[in-house]
């Protein structure tokens, strides 16, 4: 693989992701909530930082971006449509744009719902999807700005990606999500197996992500919703779960 990802825990339950491209030796970070934990990881590995990929404007996804740009001269990438509420963008992007990352590239997928102008990044070389707060393991983001229809359509855009794609999301919400998912589909065997795995991982303080889209397709009640109405009903139920 040309591109690999490593989770960096930030704040209470955020994950930022360190990206390494091994042909040209580029380094990137996705959604740095804070600068300090990223600097610690980069220093320990003796790395600089070339790119900062932002998915959406929430402070727990952009909080460390300016400080990291200042320290490393990294370029900040984000949705040009949201430029007014993101840190100053060095590389404004849009739906379908290909962002060069050394010998690899990231495809920008616009996924409004959690916020309007939320984007995801898909690295075909490496099979990595950075979905921000759109899709979580067995969950999805709250609808702060978009409609159920928009979020349903956003998640449907991921349907074209291979099962082996690894979902790298913005939060460790899996333990709570799996309880809700089991309430929706108590007899789903793949879900029950995943629930056991998640309990074991969390008991050891380990991350439950990344997780493959194939497993999410078998377990995530929001991917599995058959219609916008069913999706909206599940999202509303989860909000009050
Ligand atoms: Zn958010
Ligand atoms: Fe968030």
Residues having C-beta closer than 5 Å to ion ligand 2: 60, 133, 170
Cβ atoms of 219 and 138 within 8 Å: the answer is yes
Give the predicted TM-score (pTM) of the model.
0.98
Count each helix (H run) and each strand (E run) in the chain, helices first: 8, 14
Q: Kindly list the distances between the CA atom of residue 12 and the CA atoms of 8, 57, 130, 163, in Å, as whole numbers in the listed order.
A: 12, 18, 19, 30
Report, in angstroms and rounded to the nearest whole number, the Rg of the chain calculated over CA atoms.
Answer: 17
Please name which ligand lies nearest the alpha carbon of 11. 2
Output the pLDDT for position 209.
98
Q: Is residue 159 part of a domain?
A: yes
Give me the long-range contacts of 192-198 (CB less than 8 A, separation at least 24).
194/138, 194/219, 198/137, 198/174
> Which residues, other chains included, contact 62 with Cβ-Cβ below 8 Å and sequence gap of 6+?
31, 32, 33, 54, 86, 87
Cβ atoms of 28 and 55 within 8 Å: the answer is no
Please name which ligand lies nearest the alpha carbon of 60. 2
187 CA to middle of ligand 1, Å? Answer: 31
Q: Is residue 78 part of a domain?
A: yes
59 CA to middle of ligand 2, Å? Answer: 8
Please name which ligand lies nearest the alpha carbon of 169. 2
Please name which ligand lies nearest the alpha carbon of 173. 2
Q: How confident is the model at residue 1 (pLDDT cuts 50, 70, 90)?
A: low
61 CA to middle of ligand 2, Å? Answer: 6
Please name which ligand lies nearest the alpha carbon of 114. 1
Q: Is residue 21 part of a domain?
A: yes
114 CA to middle of ligand 2, Å? Answer: 9
169 CA to middle of ligand 2, Å? Answer: 9
pLDDT tens by residue, 2-51: 999 999 999 999 999 999 999 999 999 999 999 999 999 999 999 999 99
Q: Is residue 226 part of a domain?
A: no
Q: Is residue 198 part of a domain?
A: no
Query: In terms of Cα–Cα distance, which of 222, 176, 223 is closest to 199?
Result: 176
Q: Is residue 229 part of a domain?
A: no
229 CA to middle of ligand 2, Å? Answer: 25
Domains held by the chain: number? 1
pLDDT of 222 > 80? The answer is yes
Please name which ligand lies nearest the alpha carbon of 56. 1
24 CA to middle of ligand 2, Å? Answer: 31
The residue range of the domain holding 101 is 3-173
pLDDT tens by residue, 79-113: 999 999 999 999 999 999 999 999 999 999 999 99
Cβ atoms of 32 and 68 within 8 Å: the answer is yes
pLDDT tens by residue, 155-187: 999 999 999 999 999 999 999 999 999 999 999
209 CA to middle of ligand 2, Å? Answer: 15
Output the pLDDT for position 116.
98
The CATH number assigned to the domain holding 30 equals: 3.60.15.10
Q: Is residue 178 part of a domain?
A: no
Q: Is residue 192 part of a domain?
A: no
- End-to-end Cα, the chain, rounded Å: 40
147 CA to middle of ligand 2, Å? Answer: 18
DSSP state letter for 89: P
200 CA to middle of ligand 1, Å? Answer: 27
> Which residues, other chains included, contact 22 with Cβ-Cβ below 8 Å and sequence gap of 6+?
1, 2, 3, 4
pLDDT tens by residue, 128-144: 999 999 999 999 999 99
Read off the pLDDT of each residue in 63-77 and give the average, rounded to a whole number: 98
Please name which ligand lies nearest the alpha carbon of 145. 1
């Amino acid at each position: 693989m040309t591109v690999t990802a490593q989770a960096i825990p930030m704040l209470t339950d955020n994950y930022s992701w360190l990206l390494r491209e091994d042909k040209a030796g580029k380094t990137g970070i996705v959604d740095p909530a804070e600068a300090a934990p990223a600097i610690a990881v980069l220093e320990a590995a003796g790395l600089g930082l070339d790119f900062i990929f932002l998915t959406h404007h929430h402070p727990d996804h952009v909080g460390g971006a300016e400080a990291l740009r200042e320290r490393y001269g990294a370029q900040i990438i984000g949705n040009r449509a949201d430029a007014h509420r993101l840190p100053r963008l060095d590389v404004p992007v849009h739906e379908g744009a290909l962002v060069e990352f050394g010998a690899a590239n990231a495809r920008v997928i616009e996924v409004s719902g959690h916020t309007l102008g939320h984007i995801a990044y898909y690295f075909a070389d490496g099979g990595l999807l950075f979905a921000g707060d759109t899709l979580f393991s067995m969950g999805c983001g709250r609808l702060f700005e978009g409609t159920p229809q928009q979020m349903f359509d956003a998640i449907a855009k991921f349907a074209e990606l291979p099962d082996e794609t690894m979902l790298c999301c913005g939060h460790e919400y899996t333990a709570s999500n799996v309880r809700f998912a089991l309430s929706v589909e108590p007899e789903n065997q793949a879900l029950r197996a995943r629930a056991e795995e998640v309990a074991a991982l969390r008991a050891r303080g380990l991350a439950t992500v990344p997780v493959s889209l194939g497993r999410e397709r078998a377990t995530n009640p929001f991917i599995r919703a058959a219609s916008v109405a069913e999706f909206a009903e599940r999202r509303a139920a989860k909000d009050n779960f």
